[in-house]
Amino acid sequence: MKKTLNICLAAGLLLTLSIGTVSTANAESKAKTYKNCSALNKDYKGGVAISSSTKNVGGKTKHKPYVSKELYNANKKSDRDKDGIACEK
């Protein structure tokens, strides 16, 4: 009885871990890639920052950037000054 219970618990744990890994992989692939900054700024007026502690090196901006590491990485090509904020306005 104990052996069967241990096998069931181990199988449940492995199943839970594998489902968590799959959902994490899907979350990373859902970040939208925008064609240019005009398209990105329609959804995110202040651009997209890699982290909340990222500082803009280009000076003052009108809007606060949205913070998302996945979204920033998908649109890294749009960060012209390489300060960690893509398409800042």
Mean pLDDT by 10 residues, the chain (89 residues): 73 71 55 96 96 88 94 96 93
> Given this model, what pLDDT does residue 13 score?
73
> Given this model, what pLDDT does residue 85 score?
95
Q: Where are the alpha helices (DSSP H) in the chain?
A: 2-29, 37-43, 69-74
The torsion defined by the Cα of 70, 71, 73 and 75, in degrees rounded to 10, comes to 170
* SS3 (DSSP) at 56: coil
> Given this model, what pLDDT does residue 6 score?
73
> Given this model, what pLDDT does residue 20 score?
60
> Given this model, what pLDDT does residue 5 score?
66
> Given this model, what pLDDT does residue 32 score?
95
